Amino acid sequence: MKISIIIPTLNEADGLRYVLQQPALKDHRICEILVADGGSTDRTADIALAYGTRLVHAPRGRGQQLAAGAGGASGDVLLFLHADTRLPDNALKQIVASLADDRVAGGNFALTFDGDTGFAGWLTGYYRWLRRKGFYYGDSAIFVRRTDYDALGGIRPISLMEDYDFVRRIEAGCRTVCLDAPGAITSSRRFAGRRPWRIFGQWVLLHMLFHLGVSPDRLARLYRSEEHQPVIPSQAS
């Protein structure tokens, strides 16, 4: 069983170096690592090539990039990995063991958010609760058999919610697993300086609008506008 790892990037030079150096990516079961880049202007492409990965150029947008990466992959299993997510050292062993059951199409890793803030801890618990309900996202390192990926129509090249859209389909039609021996760790950086109630409110709003049929392009504009809201000012000591 050969595994293709697909990493979407946009100006992720530091993050890409970090993710490519992790021990899990030295596993012999990996047949290729594809960096699906959305037009980086930093050294992301140079780093990708220096580490011997396959560089795939794609239109900007995680859905477009993941779809392009998957389209060029040759492995029996596809693993979608964000540049700020760290896999456990035995990640590939866990994946192969889980897929020894022919009924399992794929799954993800239980996720821990880094940092010692109360909100990072809350996010960790909340994501695990969501997983029990069948919801998970790209930062949890989604993996899937190639045959099932193709049968499900793959990841759609949409501007936002591409992971949620794909997860809805795989959960509706297939058996999946959540690997936690141990799980993965992801960065809390995108939440830094933002008020928890705004983050949670945005999450609820985006999902509601997606289900109401609002286009992913409009959702992406809303998401970006929220990301540029003023951050919480630091407190003087």
Q: What is the pLDDT of residue 20?
A: 97
d(CA 47, CA 49): 5
Q: What is the pLDDT of residue 217?
A: 84
What tens digit of pLDDT does each residue of 62-111 get? 999 999 999 999 999 999 999 999 999 999 999 999 999 999 999 999 99
Q: What is the pLDDT of residue 44?
A: 98
Q: What is the pLDDT of residue 231?
A: 38
Contact assessment for residue 42 and residue 22, using Cβ atoms and an 8 Å cutoff: no
Chain centre distance of CA 221 = 20
Amino acid at residue number 128: R
The pair of structure tokens assigned to 165 is 């859209």
Query: Helix or strand or coil: residue 182?
Result: strand
Q: What is the pLDDT of residue 94?
A: 98
Q: What is the pLDDT of residue 229?
A: 46
Burial of 191 (0-12, 13-18, 19+ CB in 10 A): middle
Does the pTM of the predicted model rise above 0.85? yes
What tens digit of pLDDT does each residue of 136-156 get? 999 999 999 999 999 999 999
Q: What is the pLDDT of residue 202?
A: 81
d(CA 63, CA 69): 10
Kindly report the average pLDDT of the chain as a whole number: 90
Mean pLDDT of 162-184: 97
Mean pLDDT of 12-27: 95
| Domain boundaries defined on the chain | 3-190, 193-230
What tens digit of pLDDT does each residue of 186-224 get? 987 766 666 777 777 887 898 899 889 988 888 888 877
> Among 12-21, 118-127, 166-175, which is the least confidently predicted range?
118-127
On the question of pLDDT at 236 being above 50, the answer is: no
Q: What is the pLDDT of residue 128?
A: 93
| Cβ neighbour number for residue 87 with a 10 Å cutoff | 25
Task: Determine what percent of the chain is predicted with pLDDT higher than 90.
Answer: 74
Q: What is the pLDDT of residue 166?
A: 98
CATH topology of domain 3-190: Spore Coat Polysaccharide Biosynthesis Protein SpsA; Chain A (3.90.550)
